[in-house]
Structure 1
């Protein structure tokens, strides 16, 4: 179990993020058109998993905007923005914001992504939502960088995540 905070109050996740050098667990998530996407669909690409509680909060929305801006310049890289928001809410946000360089995916159906990556909140007011995290994978699907943001209202370290891609 990992401990993070929400406005200074301790909350916990199911466990710890996958370790650097490990193979990332496969997943099946829901796209905005309600079709499925699996990690294997991105085989051969570098993958940034931008994970957050809800796109309807300022910090989460900013992380999508920031990665959308940065992703436009990345070669052979896809940024997947993952939450438990309904695909309809994700699509509405992307349409309103002009988001085109990232893919929004939802863990709303069964929550298996949050469980398999051990980052679903296990208690507190955000229980069962996803902890703000970034996981970066190389072309082979191996984890090369992780960050679980210690204070949920803070943004992730975009620079460190992108530098991990440059070093891969």
Structure 2
């Protein structure tokens, strides 16, 4: 789709309390965002793991995840079905990123302002949430084919550890 799209939900800002959400794990269980409480979270929102930029984004955060230690977690959220996410992770060798699906009710996308109304997909964005559930980094990537600023997100995550 070319041209502007409608993002549903609020535009989060640094200092906001991270909204709660539910998503679906690769085993089809429902995951509450509170399951990651007390950890620094890099939340990577992507349209689909089966596209080039989303693939690159998830692989780069997977590589960086080990350097963050046990006090942090990297979540990649898309509207891909959980089966597809599991297959993609296996094929890509991605084992440090937790993939979650927002296909069921788009709770994440609507809470974080990344739900694309016209496509029922998530837009590309990166959020870093500290241990106290405060947003310490936000990047809504304005062009779907553009990668996020990995260094800025990782720097914010390290500062929050």
Q: TM-score, normalised by structure 2?
A: 0.93
SS of corresponding position for 1:72: helix
Alpha-carbon distance in 1 for matches of 2:40, 2:92: 25
Please tell me the root mean square deviation across aligned C-alpha atoms, in Å.
1.3
CA contact (8 A) 2:20 2:34 kept: yes
> Corresponding residue for 1:69?
63
Question: Hey, what's the Cα distance between the residues in 2 that align with 1:88 and 1:146?
Answer: 29
1:106 aligns to what?
Answer: 101
Residue 19 of structure 2 is aligned to residue 40 of structure 1: no
| Corresponding residue of 1:23 | 17
CA contact (8 A) 2:65 2:97 kept: yes
Aligned equivalent of 1:121: 116
**Number of matched pairs:** 159
Are 1:78 and 2:73 counterparts? yes
Following TM superposition, where does structure 1 have runs of at least 4 consecutive aligned residues deviating by more than 6 angstroms? none
Q: Is the 8 A contact 1:17 1:146 kept in 2?
A: no
Q: Where does 1:44-63 land on structure 2 (aligned, <5 Å)?
A: 44-63=38-57
What TM-score, normalized to structure 1? 0.90
